[in-house]
Amino acid sequence: MDKTYQPSTIEKQWYETWESNGYFAPSGEGDPYSIMIPPPNVTGSLHMGHGFQESIMDALIRYNRMKGKNTLWQVGTDHAGIATQMVVERLLDAEGKTRHDLGREKFIEKVWEWKEESGGNITRQLRRLGASPDWSRERFTMDDGFYKAVQEVFVRLYDDKLIYRGKRLVNWDPKLHTAISDLEVINEEKKGHLWHFNYPLSDGSGHLTVATTRPETMLGDTAVAVNPDDERYKALIGKTIKLPLTDREIPIIADDYVDMAFGTGCVKITPAHDFNDYEMGQRHNLEMINIFNDDAHINSNAPEKYVGLDRFVARKKIVEDLEALGLLEKIDDHNLKVPYGDRSGVVIEPYLTNQWYVKTQPLADEAIKAVEDGDINFVPKQYENMYFSWMRDIQDWCISRQLWWGHRIPAWYDDAGNVYVGRDEAEVRTKYSLADSLALKQDEDVLDTWFSSGLWTFGTLGWPEDTDFLKTFHPSSVLVTGFDIIFFWVARMIMLTLYFKKEIPFNTVYVHGLVRDSHGQKMSKSKGNVLDPIDLIDGIDLETLVQKRTAGMQVPQLKQKIEKMTRKEFPEGIAPYGTDALRYTYYSLASTGRDINFDVGRIEGFRNFCNKLWNASNYVLMNTEEHDCAQDGSSDYELTLADRWIVSRLQQAEKAVIEGIESYRLDLASQALYDFIWKDYCDWYLELTKPVLWDDNADEAVKKGTRRTLIRVLETILRLAHPLMPFITEEIWQRVKPLAGAEGDTIMLARYPVPDATKIDQQAITDIEWAKGIILGVRNIRGEMNIAPSKHIPIYIKNGSDDDKRCLADNLQFLKKLASLESVEWLTDADEAPLSATALVGKLEILVPMAGLIDKEAELARLQKESDKLTKEVERLEAKLNNPKFVDKAPAEVVDKEKNRLADVNNALGKLAEQQNKIRNL
């Protein structure tokens, strides 16, 4: 093996091997385990959030696959109606064309062309992450089969009276010319104004002052409302207003909704352009006057002089005109929330249009019940509250979109405007007994992308046909997703799946946090703080990174700021860390928190961890290859204390890792594995094998036992780690397996370790801990006293029990090697010890002779530091034990524990004082 770990040389090759050998596909044996990938947007490229999420899913899948389950990871992308259409329109725009120049059919062809060429970006990147979905079953929400499922669902919901068409106020995107759901609207706090206008009463007896943040909508006002209890205006209710700038008269109405304390207590009502006004309009049967076109320019319902003006131009003009009429009372500064389209970035208009809706209440009731009854569990549990709060206040779902790219609504109209819903025109004619001569026209609109992705868990498995895959893998085992998408997708999937499949889509929803930058900022292009997972894998030099982050930036100051920040944060660019390190970093951050701050400092640590594993394996291979490691199954070997210890610790580590994975705490799993590999296996065990393997006089059976343990524990570690770090483990495993007596073509399909409690040798653990205590004591003296590591020193041991004696005998060779000892001598009470530095391990005293090595003052200072620490501890313990309430009320074992501890600490303190006196009196 190469001396240092080079991820780039192993990753690609192994991925190709796995994929071409079909290892990702379900085995067809064992209990089914399935995960449906939250389909990434086909226009997208892999961002840190995807990287995080896919890494988690891959770990779960690999773990369960190795446990022998029949594992399906269903992959695919969604067609992302608006986003994809926008991408292709932008391309057309570069040629100076619009989609209307092409026409619907040609445009859709173009989109498909684009999808074939560029749509595979994100799936290619997924492969770089080492993801192991069954690529042969990759689905796209616009695939024929999926299309069929979508149509089926629409038709059935319509026939079941759960889909209806209605003219309602929707969130309208004036740039994209489509309705969007309220989840796609981002409300942002903006500084604006509150304009106060005087509306004259028709009878000339005065005026009312109304306040508005949107003066342009006054052209569509059809009432002024006051609170019925408002003494100021009670007398005016029922009178009319002469609406300025128009020739209309509008009534003054009374409604509880009006807050007497806000503004003037009079509200202008524009039912066609405001959601609250709309409802009031319904209550009072007000006329609805729409004053906008699709692009939010004033339409011909308004006075001629405003027709065709953009809404913001019209606003200015109207304010000017009202001012000229002397009707502008005042302008106050005012903070308000402005709705923006999350795709287009323009201000969204409440707009009156015909749309299709899903009646959600009956679906939601079932969906709530499924979670209440525990059929579906959220992890962490707290997200259930979020789910419930949204579900219990659910609005009907507007599913039509005025786009070309998407699932076209299977509804047809005759010239009279009658609606017929069916799977195709022929079916519609039969179903509704329509004459062939009747002209039918299909609805122009398409369905919301989330409508189709709501069918994802069963639509991808062949529904409406009852396929074997559907029977085997539905419901899926777990959904892994971010909390930001609970409403968008999770809730809708649960509703639609329960209705059509009469079963839940998944047993568990594992909700993870959102990946942010190291300061907790959301990663965004405009902030210039985006990290590309691929750059973390392959590395990127500073100049390219700066360029990438500032590309397309229009504002020079912003560009400069981002460049400066990037150069400061990554003066050397980003090193190539490799996929395994990236994945491990994700796992280490996968705790229950909502925000995941990604700090590049941590990935470096895990790259080092990979290197550590790599080099440790190198050591193991050097000592086992071409040696007898009992790989033939022979049993003429002996295990050392160290061997028994590491095997014991391995069982405990396996248990901790498995518990972490099973409870969706990959941070705990990765931490347990990290500690075991680095601290137990590398720092201690490998060092403990050296005195055996390097001893020419050592018993061959003992050497064989050590080699056997070395290689077998390593082989187990690799399997244990594989779901988290697939590439490095496979690479090393291939070399290790013959020596460990393991079989199989790939570690991917090897069996996951199962902890065996009977292999835990408690005595071995205690004894090695004892040895570690002594070694650490000596090392502490060495370190503090600056004794060169190369200097071999003698030590004396005093005040030991028989058990200590036994431990010493068992550990002597380990102690000598790991603490660089020249000799270890046992002292009885009668023996006169030389002047020494002292370390305490329990009651045991370890003496390092000072002669020629240790300065008297330095040792006194070291002892003082030690006793200061212990003195504080004594004070704390005494205070506690002198408190009668503690002694009376706390459980006896807790009290005993503290008593013992106090005795120990006091004893140690006494010895330290004794030692200090000895040195001082010299």
Partner RNA sequence: AGGACCAUAGCUCAGUUGGUUAGAGCGCUACCUUGACAUGGUAGAGGUCGGCGGUUCAAAUCCGCCUGGUCCUACCA
Question: What is the footprint of RNA within residues 58-87 (CB under 7 A)?
Answer: none
Going by the DSSP 8-state scheme, the letter that residue 832 receives in this structure is P
SS3 state at 192: strand
Give the residue with the Cβ less far from RNA, 273 or 407: 273
Range 214-243, binding RNA (CB under 7 A): 214
Closest approach of Cβ 529 to RNA, in Å? Answer: 13
- In the complex with RNA, the residue whose CB is nearer, 668 or 847, is 668
Coil vs helix vs strand at 314: helix
Q: From the centroid of its chain, how far is CA 654?
A: 25
Q: Is 592 in the site for RNA (CB under 7 A)?
A: yes
Count of residues engaged in binding RNA, rule: CB under 7 A: 99
Q: Which is nearer to RNA, 34 or 588 (CB)?
A: 588
Q: Which of 286, 399, 478, 589 is close enough to bind RNA by CB under 7 A?
A: 589
What does the DSSP 8-state code read for residue 135?
Answer: G
- Where would I find the H helices in 750-801? 762-785
Strands 240-242 and 249-254: antiparallel
Asked if residue 656 lies in contact with residue 672, where contact means CB atoms within 8 angstroms, the answer is yes
Regarding 263 and contact with RNA (CB under 7 A), the answer is yes
Q: How far is the CB of 320 from RNA (least distance, A)?
A: 18
At residue 257's C-alpha, the angle toward residues 253 and 261, to 5°, is 100
Work out whether 198 is an interface residue with RNA (CB under 7 A).
no
Helix extents (H) in 138-274: 144-159
Residue number with CB closer to RNA (105 or 189)? 189
CB-based contacts of 848-856 (< 8 A; 24+ apart in sequence): 848/778, 848/781, 848/782, 848/793, 848/795, 849/793, 849/794, 849/795, 849/796, 853/785, 853/787, 853/791, 853/793, 854/781, 854/785, 854/787, 855/785, 856/919, 856/922
> Residue 786 Cβ, how far from RNA at the closest point, in Å?
6
Q: CB-wise, 663 or 801, nearer to RNA?
A: 663
Instruction: Select from 203, 249, 595, 825 the one that contacts RNA (CB under 7 A).
Output: 595
Cβ–Cβ < 8 Å for 572, 542: yes
Site for RNA in 276-295 (CB under 7 A): 276
Using the minimum distance from each CB to RNA, give the nearer residue, 743 or 888: 888
Hey, what are 238's tokens? 């029922």
Considering only 67, 602, 735, 843, the residue that binds RNA (CB under 7 A) is: 602
**Which amino acid makes up residue 632?**
D
Provide, rounded to whole angstroms, the least separation between the CB of residue 241 and RNA: 14
> Taking the complex as a whole, how short is the minimal distance between the CB of residue 515 and RNA, in angstroms?
10
Write the DSSP string, 672-728.
HHHHIIIIIIIIIIIHHHHHHHT-TTS-HHHHHHHHHHHHHHHHHHHHHHTTTSHHH
**Angle of the 121-128 helix axis to the 7-20 helix axis, nearest 10:** 110
Which residue from 13, 187, 354, 634 is in contact with RNA, where contact means CB under 7 A? 187
Would you say how long the chain is, in residues? 922
Report d(CA 629, CA 637) in Å as an integer.
Answer: 9
Determine contact, residues 17/132, Cβ cutoff 8 Å.
Answer: no
Residues of span 892-911 touching RNA by CB under 7 A: 894, 901
Nearer Cβ to RNA (381/806): 381
β-strands 349-358, 266-269: how paired?
A: unpaired
CB of 896 to RNA, least distance (A): 11
Stretch that binds RNA, among 111-119, 546-554, 613-621, 850-858 (CB under 7 A): 613-621
Shortest distance, CB of residue 51 to RNA, whole angstroms?
A: 16
Q: Which of 671, 734, 813, 907 binds RNA (CB under 7 A)?
A: 671
DSSP character string of 794-816: EEEEES--HHHHHHHHHHHHHHH
User: Going along 569-668, which residue ranges are E strands?
Assistant: 595-597
Neighbouring-strand partners of residue 506:
476
Residues 340-399, interacting with RNA (CB under 7 A): 382, 385-386, 389-390, 393
**Whole-number minimum distance, CB 157 to RNA, in Å?**
23
Q: Does 267 bind RNA (CB under 7 A)?
A: yes
Among 87, 92, 194, 485, contact with RNA (rule: CB under 7 A)? 194
For residue 349, the minimal CB distance to RNA (Å) is 14
Binding positions for RNA, 108-167, rule CB under 7 A: none
Residue 816 lies near RNA (rule: CB under 7 A): no
State which of positions 862-881 bind RNA (CB under 7 A). 865, 873
Q: How many angstroms separate the Cα of 318 from the Cα of each of 249, 302, 306, 322?
A: 18, 12, 9, 6
Q: Could you say which DSSP state residue 78 is in?
A: B
Is residue 786 within the footprint of RNA (CB under 7 A)?
A: yes
Position among 396, 563, 604, 625 found at the interface with RNA (CB under 7 A) = 604
CB nearer to RNA: give 156 or 735: 735
| Least Å from the CB of residue 471 to RNA | 37
Closest CB 916 distance from RNA, rounded Å = 18
Q: What CA–CA distance (Å, rounded) separates 47 from 418?
A: 46
- Determine which residue in the list 302, 319, 379, 668 makes contact with RNA, applying CB under 7 A: 668
Classify strands 185-200 and 207-212 as parallel, antiparallel or unpaired. Answer: antiparallel
Beta carbons of 307 and 317 less than 8 angstroms apart: no
Cβ closer to RNA: 152 or 784? Answer: 784
Considering only 65, 128, 549, 607, the residue that binds RNA (CB under 7 A) is: 607
Residues 482-511 that bind RNA (CB under 7 A): 484, 487
Angle between helices 600-624 and 726-740 (to 10 degrees): 10
